[in-house]
Amino acid sequence: MSPSDVRPPAEPKIAERDARRMEGRTALVTGASRGIGEAIADRLAAEGATVILCSRKEPGLVEARQRILARNPGADLRVEPCHVGHAHDIVALFERLDAQGIVVDALVNNAGTNPYFGPMMGAEAAAWDKTFDVNLRGPFEMSRQVARRLIDADRPGAIVNVSSIFGLRAAPLQGIYGMTKAALISLTRTLAMEWGGAGIRVNAIAPGLVETRLSSALLASDEIVARYNERTALGRPAVPAEMAGMVLTLLSDAASYTTGQVIALDGGWLIG
């Protein structure tokens, strides 16, 4: 398909503008058992998407599904365990989805890890491998699995990668993590260029400090939180739900002419 064949979505009729924004869409959210991923899954379900909840551990996913269902009665939520750092797990996941006739047209690469906190000089190869496998190779493989199927079916779609402000600035004591998040931005831009002609948009968000389990070590330090708050225009960390609205927008037709972008959701940290 050449870029000139790609048409923007038709102008919605007035009644449709009020319709739920993800009706008829199938979203897959990695790292959906808690934190930012659960908040995103919740928001997409509220907007009518079928949502596939993915992370390593099934019990956590089942609990997240119950919480999301309680807030969104009748939502169509599937649970699919998958370790995104293991390529064979990703292949098996998409084989299971194929067998059920499920085609994902909205992917959120949110699962992430940060196993080493300390200076680069002391970083071990195992931490490098794990961080790159989960934070970078996972989104790369997941995105290819989704895009291959959409291109074969001649269908549009959208992908959002969850990067970090530490992918845009130096990340002292979180250097390997920061490198993976910077590379994820590069991946976002390249895939946006390569797949734009097929109607697949690829964007990223770069959260600041968000109150989750992943950031609990940072949040436990009064000094780190005070320094963050001082530099941040809004003067506070975020809660996970504050990440979900922008992801919804980027996945929906509201962002039909937006691709290859990195949107900072940082309360103004980067301008500080």
- Cα 20 to Cα 89: distance, rounded to the nearest angstrom: 32
- Does the protein bind ligand NAP through residue 199 (CB under 6 A)? no
Where does this chain touch ligand NAP (CB under 6 A) — which range of 9-17, 94-102, 106-114, 141-149?
Answer: 106-114
Where does this chain touch ligand NAP (CB under 6 A) — which range of 11-19, 141-149, 209-217, 247-255?
Answer: 209-217
**Taking CB under 6 A as the criterion, which residues in 152-171 touch ligand NAP?**
162, 164
Structure token pair of residue 221: 């330090």
- Does the protein bind ligand NAP through residue 201 (CB under 6 A)? no
- Does the protein bind ligand NAP through residue 115 (CB under 6 A)? no
- Does the protein bind ligand NAP through residue 31 (CB under 6 A)? yes
Of 112 and 157, nearer to ligand NAP (C-beta) is 112
- Shortest Å distance, C-beta 244 to ligand NAP: 11
- Does the protein bind ligand NAP through residue 52 (CB under 6 A)? no
> Vertex 207, ends 64 and 27: CA angle to 5°?
45
Where does this chain touch ligand NAP (CB under 6 A) — which range of 80-88, 94-102, 115-123, 252-260?
Answer: 80-88
- Does the protein bind ligand NAP through residue 210 (CB under 6 A)? yes
Give how many residues touch ligand NAP by CB under 6 A. Answer: 29
177 annotated active-site: yes
Give residues with Cβ within 8 angstroms of 34, minimum separation 6.
Answer: 60, 64, 212, 213
**Residue of 22, 28, 37, 145 interacting with ligand NAP (CB under 6 A):** 37
**Residue of 85, 157, 175, 178 interacting with ligand NAP (CB under 6 A):** 85
Catalytic residue among 116, 177, 228, 257: 177
- Shortest Å distance, C-beta 48 to ligand NAP: 23
Of 128 and 253, nearer to ligand NAP (C-beta) is 128
DSSP secondary structure string for all residues of the chain: --GGGPPPPPPPPHHHHTS-TTTT-EEEEETTTSHHHHHHHHHHHHTT-EEEEE-S-HHHHHHHHHHHHHHSTT--EEE----TT-HHHHHHHHHHHHHTT----EEEE--------S-GGG--HHHHHHHHIIIIIHHHHHHHHHHHHHHHTT--EEEEEE--GGGTS--TT-HHHHHHHHHHHHHHHHHHHHHGGGTEEEEEEEE--B-SSTTHHHHT-HHHHHHHHHHSTT-S-B-THHHHHHHHHHHSGGGTT--S-EEEESTTGGG-
Of 138 and 199, nearer to ligand NAP (C-beta) is 138
CB 89 within 8 A of CB 146: no
- Does the protein bind ligand NAP through residue 131 (CB under 6 A)? no
Catalytic residues: 177
Which positions touch ligand NAP (CB under 6 A)? Answer: 30-37, 55-57, 60, 83-85, 110-113, 134, 162, 164, 207, 209-210, 212-215
